[in-house]
Amino acid sequence: MRECSIAANRDDPQDPAADTVFLLVVINNFDKLAAAYDQSLASVVSDVLHRRALSFCGESAGIVRLAAGRFVIVMRWASRFANVASLADGATAAIGGEPIRFAGAAVLAAVSVRVLPPNLGRSDVFGKAASSSRIVEPVREDAAWSLQYRTDMAAAVATVDALREGCLSLAWQPICHASQPECVLYWERLLRVSIHDGPAQSAGASILAMERLGLIRRMDHWVINRVISELRSTPKICIGCNISARSAVLDHGWVSVIARLRQLPDVASRLIVEVTETARLPPRMIVREFVDALRSVGCRIAVDDFGAGNGCRKALTSLRPDLVKIDATILHRARNDRIGRSRLLQLVRFAARLGGIVVVEGVETLPDAYLAQEVGATWLQGYLFGEPSRELPRSACPDDDKGCAAPAAADPVVVVGMEDRCTSALGSSIGLRSIWGRTVGSSVMSLMQALLSGCFVSGLMQPVLDLPRTPLAGGVGCWFA
C-alpha cells in the first residue's frame, strides 16, 4: 500500500499548480464494528477502505494514517471534479458504498469524507484532522446489543446488494381528499425490495436497520435522485418521498442534489421531502440550514409519522413543514379508544396550527375515513384508496393532462380536482371544485345514508360498484364507479 508522510508536503502554502487537496476520511462505526464482531474485522475494514481511497484518488495519491478509523488522503489533480461537493460525494460512495466481506461476515462502513481547505501545511492538516471528531455513540458491549447490531448489519448489506442488483423499486400511493377521493394531493413513492427474485416487499424494516446503524444517508440520496429523475419525465405530477431525520443535514450529497434542483425549478416545485420521525432530528440550527437550502430551490417539506415519538414539537418548530402526516398508529389506536381518539384530535389540531396541511395515514376502512374527518383531517392516505403499486398512475402518463392538487392545497376553500379543467399554479390542466359542507353530524349522517342507499359519488346520486373494494382506477380514480 502506498503511504506518504505529511512531511513530504511543504509546510508553506502549496503551489496552486500542484492542484493538491487533503481528504479527511473517518470511519464513524469503527468502534462498533470492533465491539459487535472483533478487532480483526475492524482492521480489515480499515485496510480495505485505504485501498479503495487510493484507487479513487489515482496513482499519484498517498495516505496518512492518523488513528484507528481515521486517515487523510493526499490527492493531486482534484480539479477533474466539478466542485468540492462532487469530489466529497464521489469519494464517500467509492470508499464506503460497497459491503466488505471477511471471515463469513459482511459489513458496511459508515464513512464520512471532508475536503480540507486548500493551501494547508503539515501542522494545519493535523490540526484540522484532530478537530474533526469521529461521530461516536456509546457502545454497549453486551450480547443483546451485539446480536441486534449484527442483525441490522445483515439487513443493511442485503438492501445495498439489492440496490446494486437492481432489486430496489419505488411504489406509488396517493394522498387523497377526504370528501373527494378522486382528488389527489400528491403521490408518495415508497421503497420496495425484491430479494432472491421474490415479490416486492416493504423495505421499512431494512430502512430502520440502516437508520440505527447510521448508514441511511446514501440510501436517502439514492431515493431523492431517483424521484427527481421521475419528476423530469412526468411533468404533470407531484411526488413526495421519505428521508430519515438522520439525513436532514446539509452534507455534500445534499449539496449535489440542491445544485441539480436549482437547474430544474419546475421539478423542485413538485417535490415534497417527507422527513420521518423514526429517529431524532439533528440540532435545530443544522436542520434549519437543511430546510432553508431545500426551500431556496422551491421544494416543500413534510413531517412524516408525526406522533410516533422522537420529539413531535421539535419536528414542527425545527422543520416548519408545509405538510404534517399523522402516523397510522395514532389513527388505529383511536378506532375503539376514547383516549386514542382524543390523542388523534389533539395532534391534528396541533399540526394544523403549526404545520399547514394535515394528512392522516393508515386509512384502511370507511370508518377510518369518517373518524379522520371528524377530527378535522382533510387529506387521507391508506389502503382504502389503493395499495402501493408499481404501476405508473394515469395522471403521470404523457397523454393524460391530469395533474395533482399539491400546489393549490394550502387554500382550504378550494380543492383541485380532476374535472372542469383550468390551469393550476403548477401550469398543468386540472380543475376546481367546491368543498362539501363539513359539519360533523350532518355531513357524516348524509354520507352514511347515501352509502346505504347504494348511490353516492362526488355529490351526485349514482350507483356504487363494490364500494369497499373497487380500487383507484389506474391509480387516479376513486372508490366509486
**CATH number of the domain to which 72 belongs:** 3.30.70.270
pLDDT > 90? residue 99: yes
Residue 445 lies in a domain: yes
Considering the domain architecture, whether residues 63 and 206 belong to the same structural domain is answered as no
pLDDT confidence of residue 143 = 87
Residue 57: pLDDT band by 50, 70, 90 thresholds? confident
Asked if 128 contacts 21 with a C-beta cutoff of 8 angstroms, the reply is no
The predicted pLDDT at position 125 comes to: 61
In a domain, 321, yes or no: yes
Asked if residue 79 is part of any domain, the answer here is yes
Q: Quick one: pLDDT at residue 124? A: 64
C-alpha 219/C-alpha 207 separation (Å) is 9
pLDDT grade for 426, boundaries at 50, 70 and 90: very low
Residues 224 and 307 in one domain: yes
259-269 as b/e: b if 16+ CB within 10 A: ebbeebeebbb
pLDDT for residue 270: 96
Torsional class of 474: left (φ above 0), alpha (ψ -120 to 50), beta (otherwise): left
Q: Which grid coordinates belong to 186?
A: 400528491
Residue 118 has pLDDT above 60, yes or no: yes
End of a domain among 131, 149, 183?
Answer: 131
- Domains identified in the chain, total number: 2
Instruction: Return the CATH number at 190.
Output: 3.20.20.450
The confidence score (pLDDT) of residue 197 equals 67
Closest CA to 355 of 372, 378, 329, 384: 378
| Choice between 235 and 189, residue whose per-residue pLDDT is larger | 189
Q: Tell me: do 123 and 205 sit in the same domain.
A: no
Q: What is the DSSP letter of 6?
A: G
For residues 116 and 129, give the distance between their C-alpha atoms in angstroms, rounded to a whole number. 9
Is pLDDT at 18 greater than 90 in this prediction? no
Give the SS3 label for residue 42: helix
Region 41-57 average pLDDT: 92
Q: What's the grid cell of residue 101? A: 466481506
Average pLDDT over residues 426-433: 28
Q: What is the pLDDT of residue 366?
A: 94
Q: How far apart are CA 405 and CA 424, in angstroms?
A: 9
Pair (187, 317) in one structural domain:
yes
Would you say residue 332 lies in a domain? Answer: yes
C-alpha cell read off for 457? 359519488
Same domain flag for 371 and 309? yes
Give per-residue burial for 186-198: e unless 16+ CB within 10 Å, then b: bbbbbbbbbbeee
Best mean pLDDT range from 42-51, 54-63, 354-363, 466-475: 42-51
Three-class DSSP labels, 313-331: HHHHHHHCCCEEEECHHHH
Q: Flag whether pLDDT at 476 surpasses 60.
A: no
* H-only helix segments in 356-430: 366-374
pLDDT score for 457: 29
Q: What is the mean pLDDT of residues 42-58?
A: 91
Residue 429's pLDDT band (boundaries 50, 70, 90)?
very low
All three cell numbers of 104, joined, read: 463469513
Q: Is residue 152 part of a domain?
A: no
pLDDT value at position 227? 97
Do 270 and 325 lie in one domain? The reply is yes
**Do 230 and 356 have their domain in common?**
yes
Residues 6+ apart with CB under 8 A from 453: none
Is residue 299 located within the same domain as residue 396? yes
Same domain, 82 and 171: no
| Mean per-residue pLDDT over the chain, rounded | 76
Q: Which helix (H) or strand (E) holds 309?
A: none
Domain range for 380: 158-475
The tens digit of pLDDT for each residue in 174-208 reads: 999 999 988 999 999 999 988 766 678 888 899 99
Residues 235 and 357 in one domain: yes
Phi and psi for 429 in degrees, rounded to 5? -85, 105
Note the pLDDT tens digit of each residue in 308-340: 876 667 777 788 899 999 999 999 999 988 999
Share of the chain above pLDDT 70, in %: 70
111-125, 286-300, 338-352: least confidently modelled range: 111-125
Inter-helix orientation angle 204-213/216-233, to 10°: 130
Among the residues of 242-337, which ranges form H helices?
252-262, 265-268, 284-296, 312-319, 328-334
**Shared domain check, 162 and 122:** no
- Percent of the chain scored above 90 by pLDDT? 48
d(CA 371, CA 369) in angstroms, rounded, equals 5
Residues 263, 408, single domain; the answer is: yes
Q: Which residues does 264 contact at the CB level (< 8 Å), separation at least 6?
A: 228, 231, 232
Q: CA-to-CA distance for 403 and 401, rounded, in angstroms?
A: 6
In a domain, 119, yes or no: yes
Does the pLDDT value for residue 268 go beyond 90?
Answer: yes
CA distances from 132 to 53, 113, 138, 289 (A): 19, 11, 18, 20
136 domain-assigned: no
How far does the chain reach from its first CA to its final CA, in angstroms?
Answer: 69
Residue 443 lies in a domain: yes
Q: What does the pLDDT read at residue 129? A: 60
The residue-averaged pLDDT of 393-409 equals 54
Write down the pTM of the prediction.
0.76
pLDDT at 240: 97
pLDDT of the residue at 62: 83
